[in-house]
Amino acid sequence: MGQAALKRRDLLTRTLTASLATSLVPLLSACGREARPLADRLAERLAELPGGWTGANWERGHRLRGALPVWSAATGAPKRAQVLVLGAGIAGLACARRLRLQGVDVALLDLEDRPGGNSRGHRIGAGPALGEGLRCPLGAHYLPTPGPEAVEVRALLEDLGLARQEHGKTVYEERWLCHSPQERLWWQDQWVDGLLPPAESPDVQAQYRRFGELVDQARHEVGFAMPSTHHAWTPAHQALDAKTFAAWLDEHQLTAAPLRWYLDYCCCDDYGADAAQVSAWAGLHYFGSRHGFMSGEEREAVLTWPQGNGWLSERLAAPLADAFHGGRTALRVREERHGMQVLVWNDKAQAAERWEADQVVMAMPLFIAARLPEQPPSALTEAAAVMRYAPWLVANLLLDAPPLERLGVPMSWDNVAYGGEALGYVNANQQDLDPSRGPMVLTAYRSLRESQRKDLLQDDWRAWSARVLADMAPMHPDLPERLQRIELMRYGHAMSIPHPGLRGSPALAALRERAHGRLHFAHADLAGYSVFEEAFTQGETVAARLLGRRRGSA
């Protein structure tokens, strides 16, 4: 190694050591450990560690910000489909799959090279030892077993062999129901069962009980469903949507620190923002639409896979292999008398191309969708103007063996530290049946503040890796020795934040409930927040609308 390279490595090591030490001091001081030695070990390991960013280059998504090519730049013959779906996330996949199953000629375009959106899977560590590499998620990593309202999702799970009906009861494939232990919390220097902090005082116990009662009351008097669009929107919902969840909690004198931390964690996990930013409707919907607030009760059953919800997106995409066109960024959409025209940038060919279709489904975040139509519907412009999005970081850490464990509950599927900003990490190997202590993947999640979006774009991947390791190292002191590789996925606009007033927006309702000429909208944004059930149902709803039009014109 040359002198210049050595100097760069020394500078990187010193920078990472300082960053790690700053992050680790408050976390390690409580247990009497010196921050500097661990920070030194992590920084030295990180300076030489292989890894980097994964996913498409951000420049693809930012192409819309620059000068766009004119229509005449697409010199080849137009490509044709009956229905063109723009965006291959869960909503786009659901819509295109349903149409294809009914014999419709459909094409599916996405700027990423692989379909799945926030529900893509990944492999890390490919090579002679691990073959194609270990599976892990790049985003969403589980699906709660659906309730009675989620008829579309339940039908999908039956189609995929994940659920079946026996004597009038739904039975799920045990292979993919989350194995035990399911959740644990790093609390006062040890691991405890579950994610709800222990209620160590009568006041905290009383507030847990009171919050559970209020959730049950709201479920009875207001009503919630998953997906949310399967429940009528009433003045009671609108009233909850008008204030923040934090304000609602204050009104009910629910101020205990363990409860408020837990509720902030839940909101950040599903919505990318804490209780001070999301609406009271969103905060209550989190519990009311699924399992209520369970304090000491049996946990909600969830389906999960090594690659997270990538397992689902892969199967949704399977019948669309010949219809999917990756590396395509939609630039402009024009509605004409007899059809639609779409101008697309082909990243591989580095050229513009033109597509024609009878109908276009915009299955993309609304802030992007609003940039494309030459004459956007007023509802789209209004809705996009009030959307806010949370940045998100997902880090997959390849370890050569399971890390050392501290006191308490053993390694679980979901592992979270009380009081930290990070959302914890998932053991991507949880569902594996191999009992060996060989290589494994831990997938760490961070929901970021909107003000950190620029840092996520500009900072080196090792700087973000240092932040992730600072979160995890106090819980696993041998992490520097176990760590073999880090790969990170950054989402500048990962999910819509359901801030006050958003879910009840008339503009969102207008986009959900009807077509706008030959233009249709299908995305989780239309529910005001991002989960699989909402996205899948939006895609199925638009497909049903298009199929109804087709039958009506036959």
Q: Is the pLDDT of residue 61 over 90?
A: no
pLDDT digits (tens, 9 = 90+) for 282-315: 999 999 998 788 755 556 799 999 999 999 999 9
Rounded percentage of the chain residues whose pLDDT exceeds 70: 92
For residue 339, give the amino acid letter.
G
Q: Which long-range contacts (CB under 8 A, 24 or more apart) does 373-378 make?
A: 373/333, 373/334, 373/335, 373/519, 374/332, 374/333, 374/334, 374/335, 375/335, 377/510, 377/511, 377/516, 377/517, 377/519, 378/507
536 conformational bin, left if phi > 0, alpha if psi -120 to 50, beta if neither: alpha
How far is the C-alpha of 547 from the C-alpha of 101, rounded, in Å?
Answer: 11
Peptide bond into 37 cis (omega under 30): no
Residue 210, pLDDT > 70, answer yes
Phi then psi dihedrals of residue 302, to 5 deg: -130, 150
- The structure's pTM equals 0.92
Q: What would the pLDDT profile of 497-553 be if each residue is shown by its tens digit?
A: 999 999 999 999 999 999 999 999 999 999 999 999 999 999 999 999 999 976 655
Q: Assign 84 to helix, strand or coil.
A: strand
User: Residue 504 in contact with residue 238, Cβ under 8 Å?
Assistant: yes
pLDDT in tens, 399-430: 999 999 999 999 999 999 999 889 999 999 99
Peptide bond into 128 cis (omega under 30): no
Give the tokens for residue 408: 């308490």
Helix axes 461-472, 3-28, angle to 10 degrees: 30
How many other CB atoms are found less than 10 A from the CB of residue 119?
A: 28
Query: Quick one: pLDDT at residue 66?
Result: 85
For residue 411, give both structure tokens: 């390694």
Question: Residue 85: what pLDDT?
Answer: 98
The rounded mean pLDDT for the chain is: 91
Strands (E), 87-182: 106-109, 121-124, 134-137, 143-144, 163-166, 169-172
| Token pair recorded at residue 437 | 């202590």
Check if the beta carbon of residue 243 is closer than 8 Å to that of residue 280.
yes
Bridge-based pairing state of the strands 414-417 and 425-427: antiparallel
What is the C-alpha separation between 548 and 554, in angstroms, rounded?
10
| Distances 540 to 148, 158, 484, 494 between C-alpha atoms, Å | 17, 15, 42, 22
Specify whether the CB–CB gap between 384 and 367 falls below 8 A: yes
Phi, psi of 399 (to 5 degrees): -115, 150
How many Å apart are CA 98 and CA 106, to the nearest integer? 10
Indicate left, alpha or beta for 502 from its phi (over 0: left) and psi (-120 to 50: alpha): alpha
